[in-house]
Amino acid sequence: MSSVSNAIKPKQHYEILDGLRGVAAIIVVAFHVFEAFTGGNRFKQIINHGYLAVDFFFLLSGFVVAYAYDDRWGKMTQWEFYKRRLIRLQPMVIMGSIIGALFYYLQASDILFPMISDMPVWKVLLVMLIGCTLIPLTPSMDIRGWAEMHPLNGPAWSLFFEYIANILYAVFFRKLSNKVLAVFVFIFAAMLINYTVLGPKGDVIGGWSLNLEQMNVGFTRLLFPFFAGILLNRMGKLIHVKGAFWICSLLITAVLMIPRIGDENSLWMNGLYESFCIILMFPLIVSIGAGGQITNPFSAKICKWLGEISYPIYIIHYPLIYWYTAWVVNNKVSLEDGIGMGALLLVASIVIAYLCLKLYDEPVRNWLQKKFQKQKAA
């Protein structure tokens, strides 16, 4: 008898879906750059629906998790599943918290972030360490003034909900038949429509604070897309078209960049649009992306590169956005004068993300996989 590796072999990636995740992540950075000039007014935003990328990410995650793990539970315990997800996601969560702390004191603004200039270093370090665990902070622990559950790196809130979705999947939803899962997905869709169309804001913006209102937004955003993604994968209804990556890239770009629908007196119109996008357009895009094939080497390289930087750029860019927004507000910078710096921020985010990926994330994940994913075999 000898000891050999019996680790679960990774499945082939959906290259187009990887590429689409990168396209959406870059749009998120651009969305946040333009957001600095809105003064908090969602009706003035240029890339108006960039925040829907988070809902797209949730659907992609559900689809990919079901594809990767639905047929492996006979070979894998819940703890092994959690280990795999932690190894995949947690290293960059830690890096995002560290980068957030490094940039924190550069973001001081008497107008926007008045708390920063008087904040003791020990409290920033404490928040950084807690952020590395992804444990959400209550508003009483806020060090910025925006009541974020992760005040050094705001987008980490979506990773918090991603972890919740993975736990729900492992504990309960993976065991459901497609029919029962479809009932839950229908209920979650109704919750989403009720909030967006009949709710007080006409959009799904929110989810980043640890209070009742924001947690409601977060779960409303999470439940339908994540579990609809699982159902979509199980159904296997993929759409096969030529040029799928470029078609899907145009579709997701159009969805995220379209101007706000309606005004303050017709919030339901925008809510209807967002429900349409999340419930119908995103599954359609994923079906086309998963059903497509890449035959062009150039497209294959683009998808691979976009897929590699998608998660790092999403989880590390916001500390730069805090700084950029403070600079815009402090100096009353106009869009015309500030867009060049915004373009540099986008490039810097990509460069930092790529460096983090190659010098930190991939080596750490490889080490963790070797150390914690060894299986016993005869």
Q: How do residues 192-241 score in pLDDT, each as one tens digit?
A: 999 999 999 999 999 999 999 999 999 999 999 999 999 999 999 999 99
Q: Report the mean per-residue pLDDT for the chain.
A: 94
Higher pLDDT, 279 or 40: 279
Q: What is the pLDDT of residue 33?
A: 98
Question: Is residue 269 domain-resident?
Answer: yes
Q: What is the pLDDT of residue 9?
A: 63
Q: What is the pLDDT of residue 227?
A: 98
The model's pLDDT over 101-130, given as tens digits with 9 standing for 90+, comes to: 999 999 999 999 999 999 999 999 999 999
Question: Is residue 372 domain-resident?
Answer: no
CB-side neighbour CA atoms (13 Å) of 40: 6
Contact call for residues 313 and 350 (beta carbons, < 8 A): yes
Predicted confidence band of residue 269 (pLDDT cuts 50, 70, 90): very high
Predicted confidence band of residue 40 (pLDDT cuts 50, 70, 90): confident
Q: What is the pLDDT of residue 10?
A: 65
- How many independent structural domains does the chain possess? 1
State both tokens at 340: 């060049």
State both tokens at 39: 């003064």
Q: What is the largest CA-CA distance in the chain?
A: 74
Q: What is the pLDDT of residue 47?
A: 93
Distances 84 to 5, 18, 87 between C-alpha atoms, Å: 16, 18, 5
Q: Which of 128, 222, 210, 97 is nearest to 167 (CA)?
A: 222
Q: What is the pLDDT of residue 13?
A: 80
- Would the pLDDT of 32 be above 90? yes
d(CA 272, CA 46): 19
- Would the pLDDT of 263 be above 50? yes
Q: What is the pLDDT of residue 7?
A: 52
pTM (predicted TM-score):
0.94
Question: Is residue 65 domain-resident?
Answer: yes
The model's pLDDT over 331-378, given as tens digits with 9 standing for 90+, comes to: 999 999 999 999 999 999 999 999 999 999 999 999 999 988 755 433
Question: Is residue 4 domain-resident?
Answer: no
Dihedral over alpha carbons 109, 113, 118, 119 (to 10 degrees)? -130
Question: Is residue 165 domain-resident?
Answer: yes
Question: Is residue 376 domain-resident?
Answer: no
Instruction: Tell me the mean pLDDT in the region 26-33.
Output: 98
- Would the pLDDT of 140 be above 80? yes
Question: Is residue 5 domain-resident?
Answer: no
Question: Is residue 6 domain-resident?
Answer: no
> What is the residue range of 155's domain?
15-366
- Would the pLDDT of 3 be above 50? no
